[in-house]
Structure 1
Amino acid sequence: MAPHGTDPLTLEVIELIGSVVARYHDEYEQAAAEHSLTGAQARVLGLLTLEPLPMRRIAQKLKCEPSNITGIVDRLEARGLVERRPDPGDRRVKLAAATQEGRGTARQLRSSLDFAREPLAELSAEERTALRDLLRRMLGERDDDRPQD
Structure 2
Amino acid sequence: MPAQPRLPFDPVERAGDLWESHFGDATAMRLATSVMRVQQLLLAELDAALKPYAITFARYEVLVLLTFSQTGALPLSKIGERLMVHPTSVTNAIDRLEAQGLVRRESDPADRRRTLASLTPAGRELVAEATAALTAIDFAITGLSAAEQDDTFALLQRLRAAAGDFPEEQSPDAQGPAQPRPEPSIVG
Q: TM-score range by the shorter chain?
A: 0.5 to 0.7
Q: 2:37 aligns with which of 16, 19, 28?
A: 19
- Aligned residue in 2 for 1:107: 128
What percentage of residue pairs aligned between the two structures are identical? Answer: 29
Larger Rg belongs to: 2
TM-score normalised to structure 1 length: 0.68
1:142 aligns with 2:163: no
Mapped pair 1:122 → 2:145: yes
CA displacement at 1:96 relative to structure 2: 0.6
User: 1:84 maps to what in 2?
Assistant: 105
Whether the aligned pair in 1 keeps the contact of 2:59 and 2:97 (CA below 8 Å) is yes
The one-letter code matched in structure 1 to 2:34 is L
Q: Higher relative contact order by CA 8 Å / sep ≥ 6: 1 or 2? A: 1
Deviations 1:72-91 (A, max 9, x none): 32332233311234435423
> Alpha carbon RMSD of aligned pairs, Å?
3.5
Higher helix share: 1
Residue aligned with 2:146, SS: coil
Equivalent residues in 2 for 1:39-50 (5 A)?
39-50=57-68
Contact 1:49 1:97 in 2 (8 A): no
Structure 2 CA distance for partners of 1:117 and 1:75, relative to 1, 3 Å: closer
In the alignment of these two chains, the number of paired residues is 143
User: Is residue 73 of structure 1 aligned with residue 69 of structure 2?
Assistant: no
